[in-house]
Amino acid sequence: VVVVDLLRYQIVVASGALGRVGEIARQHAPAHRYAIITDDTVGPLYAAAVRRALGDAQTSVHSIPAGEAHKTRESWATLTDAMLADGCGRDTTVVALGGGVIGDLAGFVAATYMRGVPFIQIPTSLLAMIDASIGGKTGVDTPTGKNLVGAFHQPAAVIADPDVLRTLPAAHRRAGLAEAIKHGAIADAAYFDRVVTQASNIDRPDVDLSELVAGSVRIKASVVANDEREHGQRKILNFGHTLGHAIESASDYTLLHGEAIAIGMVLEAKLAERIEVAEAGTADRIVMAVDRARLPKSIPPELDRELIHQLTRSDKKARGGRVEYALPARIGAMAGGDRGWGIAVEDEAVLSVISQG
Ligand X SMILES: NC(=O)c1ccc[n+]([C@@H]2O[C@H](COP(=O)([O-])OP(=O)(O)OC[C@H]3O[C@@H](n4cnc5c(N)ncnc54)[C@H](O)[C@@H]3O)[C@@H](O)[C@H]2O)c1
Catalytic residues, by residue number, are 115, 137, 179, 220, 230, 234, 238, 241, 245, 257
- Residue 198 sits at the vertex; the CA angle it makes with 190 and 278, to the nearest 5 degrees, is 45
Which one among 167, 298, 355, 356 touches ligand X, defined by CB under 6 A? 167
Which residue's CB is nearer to ligand X, number 103 or number 278?
103
Residue 168 binds ligand X, judged by CB under 6 A: yes
| Beta carbon nearer to ligand X, 127 or 212 | 127
Q: Which of 4, 24, 41, 325 binds ligand X (CB under 6 A)?
A: 41
* 43 scored as a contact of ligand X (CB under 6 A): no
Question: Does the footprint of ligand X cover residue 245 (CB under 6 A)?
Answer: no
Rg (CA), the chain: 20
Burial class (CB in 10 A: 0-12, 13-18, 19+), 144: exposed
For residue 346, the minimal CB distance to ligand X (Å) is 29
Q: Which helix (H) or strand (E) holds 38?
A: strand 33-39
User: Nearer Cβ to ligand X, position 135 or 184?
Assistant: 135
Q: Which of residues 105-144 bind ligand X (CB under 6 A)?
A: 124-125, 127-128, 131-132, 135, 137
68 binds ligand X (CB under 6 A): yes
Q: Does 264 bind ligand X (CB under 6 A)?
A: no
**243/247 Cα distance (integer angstroms):** 6
Contact 37, 106 (CB under 8 A): yes
CB atoms under 10 Å from CB of 68, counted, come to 15
Give the nearest distance from C-beta 45 to ligand X in angstroms: 6
276: left (phi over 0), alpha (psi -120 to 50) or beta: left
What is the three-class DSSP state of 244? Answer: helix
d(CA 235, CA 307): 24
> Is the CB of 78 or the CB of 352 nearer to ligand X?
78
Give the integer Cα–Cα distance in Å for 20 and 210: 16
Do 224 and 132 contact (CB within 8 A), yes or no? no
If binding means CB under 6 A, how many residues of this protein chain bind ligand X?
30
Chain centroid to Cα 9, Å, comes to 17
Assess 39 for contact with ligand X (CB under 6 A). yes
Per-residue contact flags (x/-) with ligand X for residues 201 to 240, judged by CB under 6 A: ----------------------------------------
DSSP 8-state secondary structure symbol assigned to residue 128 = I
Nearer to ligand X, 31 or 223 (CB): 223
State the residues that interact with ligand X by CB under 6 A: 39, 41-42, 45, 66-68, 71, 98-102, 104, 124-125, 127-128, 131-132, 135, 137, 146-147, 164-165, 167-168, 172, 257
